[in-house]
């Protein structure tokens, strides 16, 4: 098994911590003039997304995690798995289970591209692009003439997400939405 | 394209020049003699946590291993023992593997020694120098015990390793646990205390295990402490001072202890600097000394986040 020593630590490095794959976000060297050096590392657990800081004694080695990030095209769902296809023209398919899909589940649209993280070749997370364009499947009827400002109402999108939208939005409209905070951006002209 | 440009802006280099001029004026006004000592020498410190950079020097038909100095301390003490009086030096120092936002392998130390000064007097002079260079206000002083009691509710001198381990685990997520009491104390200081310190402060009376080259004395609680202090500024370790150890036998014993610890860690040992020991035997006058990280002082002056912003060419570009 490959290992990394603290001198190789840098942001983006994928390592195994408590048997789970993690990514280093920030690495800071702590070295008193007369004393043991430490590496303070901000880590993200790639399975559950938890971010925290762990301190390592310099010179220590930790196991590398066999983690890959791939761009994947969403194909379909079969009730148990969500199927994606690699975008490298290999047509190779990968199925993500409910734990891996959780963050992306309400933003899925066939043929859109997502970022999938694979650990030991199995998908552990799927991240939607920052912005997606989705059709409104259900909302209260639009108020004519109200295109400026005013209140908001909930709208259900074809992918299942519910977002707050301006009152003028109608069923069938295509909306651009920020997936990081579920915020409506604008209506896309059809 | 080859990146040949300096890492510091011209503005910062000008600030650096002004600061160095101020430092020299400060000492000339006080009749402290400026000296220069070798950067390349046959021996080096055996300190467990300081790694020297070796350099090969051809002498006749053989090659002798020399070392770039990690601090000018030993040479300056040899000058003091030879009757130099109070001296200061602005010197380059080199430490292997020390790289990062606040470390550069090659860095600049301001080191000075004051004859017959107590550690308190030296702290006051350091405070005056820092005020002159940075224009900061007064610098509060806390004992090592006070600062640990205040922020972590523990007595650093009395606490057992087990209790310390326990206390550290509530503060820090630490990988592995084969640390000494000193390691835990230093880690807690940098992790849990430094961020809460006033902008500028001095911590004094260190645990005896962290004496390095300071004398030991009994404090008002009857505990043996090291007559050592450190200055912190905005979370940066800026200066380290001692009431200097002058006992040659004790110095030799500390070198031997350091080397034993190096051996245990699988590090190369460094023979005691016999010239320093001989100088101490001939008599080091009673004195206090302090080393200031000039680059870090500059970082605070120009509000730099990275040490490379105040060094013309950092190690990556050197």
Distance CA B151, CA B9 (A): 38
CA–CA separation, B176 vs B184, rounded Å?
12
Instruction: Count the neighbouring beta carbons within 10 Å of the beta carbon of residue B20.
Output: 16
Q: Spell out which residues of chain B touch residue A36, defining contact as CB-CB under 8 Å.
A: 49, 179, 182-183, 186-187
Query: Consecutive sets of 10 residues in chain B, 318 residues long: mean pLDDT of each?
Result: 93 98 98 98 94 94 95 98 98 91 96 98 98 95 97 96 93 86 94 92 96 94 96 94 97 96 94 97 98 98 97 95
Does A62 touch chain B if contact means CB atoms closer than 8 Å?
A: yes
Residue A34: pLDDT band with limits 50, 70, 90: confident
User: Is residue B156 assigned to a domain?
Assistant: no
CB contact under 8 A, A55 and B100: no
Contact of A57 with chain B, judged by CB distance below 8 Å, is answered with yes
User: In angstroms, what separates the C-alpha of A50 from chain B's closest C-alpha?
Assistant: 14
Looking at domain A67-127, its CATH superfamily turns out to be Nucleic acid-binding proteins (2.40.50.140)
Query: Out of A32, A35, A55, whose CB is closest to B173?
Result: A55
The two tokens of residue B158 are 């009395």
Q: Measure B81 CA to nearest chain A CA, in Å.
A: 25
Q: Is the pLDDT of residue A144 over 70?
A: no
Domain boundaries, chain A: 3-63, 67-127, 131-188
Residue B108 belongs to some domain of the structure: yes
Interface test with A, best of B176, B186, B226, B237 (most A CBs within 10 A): B186
Give the per-residue pLDDT at A146. Answer: 56
Q: Which run of H or E residues covers position B41?
A: strand B40-41
Which CATH number applies to A3-63: 2.60.200.20, 2.30.30.30, 3.40.50.450, 2.70.98.40? 2.30.30.30
B50–A30 C-beta distance less than 8 A: no
What band does A145 get if pLDDT is binned at 50, 70 and 90? low
Question: Does some domain include residue B153?
Answer: no
Is the CATH number 2.40.50.140 carried by domain A131-188?
Answer: yes
Instruction: Record the tokens describing residue B299, joined without a space.
Output: 């970082």
pLDDT of residue A81: 95
Q: What are phi and psi of B14, to 5 degrees?
A: -65, -45
Q: What is the pTM of this model?
A: 0.81
Q: What local confidence, expressed as pLDDT, does residue A4 receive?
A: 95
One fold for A67-127 and A131-188: yes
Quick check: is B275 in a domain? no
Kindly report the backbone phi and psi dihedral angles of residue B210, in degrees, each rounded to the nearest multiple of 5, phi listed first. Answer: -105, 30
Residue A147 has pLDDT above 60, yes or no: no
The count of structural domains within chain B is 1
In a domain, B225, yes or no: no
Reduce the DSSP state of residue A68 to 3 states and report it.
Answer: strand
C-alpha span between A174 and A140 (Å, rounded): 15
| CATH label of the domain that carries residue B84 | 3.30.930.10
ipTM: 0.82
At residue B77, the pLDDT reads 98
Nearest CA distance, A9 vs chain B (angstrom): 12
To the nearest whole Å, the CA of A89 is away from the closest chain B CA by: 35
Owning domain of residue B3: 1-136+289-318
CA dihedral sign of residues A102, A104, A106, A110: negative
- Residue B38 maps to a domain: yes
DSSP category for residue B103: B
Distance (Å, whole) CA A168 – CA A121: 45
Q: From start to end of A89-182, where are the E strands?
A: 93-96, 113-119, 122-127, 131-139, 152-157, 162-166, 174-178
B120 close contact with A: CB closer than 8 A = no
């Amino acid at each position: 098994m490959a290992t990394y020593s603290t001198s190789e630590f840098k942001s983006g490095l994928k390592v195994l911590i408590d048997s789970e794959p993690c990514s280093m976000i920030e690495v800071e060297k702590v070295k008193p003039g007369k004393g043991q050096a430490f590496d303070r590392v901000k880590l993200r657990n790639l399975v559950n997304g938890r971010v925290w800081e762990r301190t390592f004694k310099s010179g220590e080695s930790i196991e590398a995690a066999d983690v890959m990030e791939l761009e994947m095209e969403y194909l379909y769902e079969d009730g148990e798995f969500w199927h994606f296809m690699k975008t490298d023209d290999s047509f190779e398919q990968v199925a993500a289970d409910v734990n891996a899909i959780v963050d992306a589940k309400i933003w899925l649209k066939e043929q859109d591209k997502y970022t999938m993280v694979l650990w030991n070749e199995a998908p552990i997370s799927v991240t939607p692009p920052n912005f997606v364009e989705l059709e409104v499947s259900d909302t209260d009827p639009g108020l004519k003439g109200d295109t400026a400002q005013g209140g908001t109402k909930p709208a259900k999108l074809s992918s299942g997400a519910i977002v707050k939208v301006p009152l003028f939005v109608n069923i069938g409209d295509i909306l651009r939405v920020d997936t990081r905070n579920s915020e409506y951006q604008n209506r896309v002209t059809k | 394209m080859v990146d040949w440009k300096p890492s510091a802006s011209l503005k910062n280099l000008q600030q650096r020049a002004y600061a160095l001029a101020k430092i020299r004026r400060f000492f000339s006004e006080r009749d402290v003699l400026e000296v220069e000592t070798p950067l390349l020498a046959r021996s080096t410190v055996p300190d467990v946590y300081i790694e020297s950079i070796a350099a090969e020097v051809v002498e006749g038909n053989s090659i002798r291993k020399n070392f770039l100095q990690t601090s000018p301390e030993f040479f300056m003490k040899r000058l003091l023992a030879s009757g130099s009086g109070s001296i200061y030096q602005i010197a380059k120092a080199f430490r292997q593997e020390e790289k990062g936002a606040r470390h550069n392998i090659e860095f600049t130390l301001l080191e000075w020694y004051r004859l017959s000064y107590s550690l308190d007097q030296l702290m006051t002079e350091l405070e005056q120098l820092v005020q002159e260079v940075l224009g900061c206000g007064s610098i509060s002083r806390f004992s090592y015990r006070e600062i640990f009691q205040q922020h972590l509710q523990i007595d650093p001198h009395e606490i057992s390793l087990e209790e310390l381990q326990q206390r550290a685990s509530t503060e820090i997520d630490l990988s592995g646990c084969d640390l000494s009491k000193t390691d835990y104390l230093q880690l807690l200081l940098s992790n849990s205390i430094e961020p809460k310190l006033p902008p500028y402060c001095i911590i004094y009376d260190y645990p005896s295990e962290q004496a390095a080259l300071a004398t030991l004395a009994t404090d008002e609680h009857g505990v043996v402490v090291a007559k050592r202090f450190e200055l912190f500024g905005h979370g940066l370790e800026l200066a380290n001072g001692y009431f200097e150890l002058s006992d040659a036998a004790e110095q030799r014993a500390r070198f031997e202890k350091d080397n034993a610890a190096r051996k245990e860690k699988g590090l190369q040992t460094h023979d005691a600097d016999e010239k320093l020991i001989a100088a101490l035997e001939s008599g080091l006058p009673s004195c206090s000394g302090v080393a200031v990280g000039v680059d870090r002082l500059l970082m605070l002056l120009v509000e730099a986040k990275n040490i490379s912003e105040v060094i013309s060419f950092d190690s990556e570009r050197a």
